[in-house]
Amino acid sequence: MEYFSHETAVIDAGCSIGAETKIWHFSHIMSDCTIGEGCNIGQNVVVSPGVILGKNVKIQNNVSLYTGVECEDDVFLGPSMVFTNVTNPRSGVNRRDQYAKTIVRKGASIGANATIVCGHDIGEYAFVGAGAVVTKTVLPFALVVGNPARQIGWISKFGHRLEFDLNGVAVCQEGGEAYKLENGLVFVL
């Protein structure tokens, strides 16, 4: 199967859509965007020109991905979460040449109704809690919540809180992978 699009979806010419991707009701895929294989794009989603989505990206309903956003493989975007792309928007001032880039790294999840202020990347496998407002870069494996978002812990690839022992090692209860906390960063052993 090439890709599936619901009859109410609008797909502009000049975009690239990977095999087995599904695009649902009332979504708009604009020209010059790239969507990888196996993505699921929910209802009422807008993918703007220049946006890049890796493989297996899951976008829930009512999300707009504006120019400047890039999501790597296996990213999850919760319902009604928001990206911005200009730091100081004004209706009367055209700032299309000032779009800030935001990269959501492999395996990261962003919860429902969260807001990502442009220019702040989300690290690999990070987890942004529902309703959080991200105003600075989020580290890989970090768990952030609140407004403004603050880090409250670390999370595994499977989405479980990591509890580190005195040696700075934690094991994911579901995946069984070991993680190391060293110099303020987490990595898989």
pLDDT digits (tens, 9 = 90+) for 140-160: 999 999 999 999 999 999 999
**pTM for this one?**
0.96
From CA 28, how far away is CA 85, in angstroms rounded?
18
CATH code, domain with 36: 2.160.10.10
Which pLDDT tens digit goes with each residue over 103-124?
A: 999 999 999 999 999 999 999 9
75 part of a folded domain: yes
Per the structure, the count of domains in the chain is 1
Residue 86 sits in which domain range? 3-158
Q: Which tens digit of pLDDT belongs to each residue from 21-49?
A: 999 999 999 999 999 999 999 999 999 99
Is residue 106 in a domain? yes
Does residue 132 sit within a domain?
yes
CB half-sphere exposure, 137, CA atoms < 13 A: 10
Structure tokens at 106: 């492999």
Q: Which tokens belong to 167?
A: 């040696």
- Residue 188, in any domain of the structure: no
Distance CA 117, CA 41 (A): 22
Chain segment 66-111, per-residue pLDDT in tens: 999 999 999 999 999 999 999 899 999 999 888 999 999 999 999 9
Burial 65-81 (b: 16+ CB within 10 A, else e): bbbbbbbbbbbbbbbbb
Q: 130 in a domain, yes or no?
A: yes
For residue 163, being part of any structural domain is answered with no
Residue written as tokens 């695009």?
Answer: 23
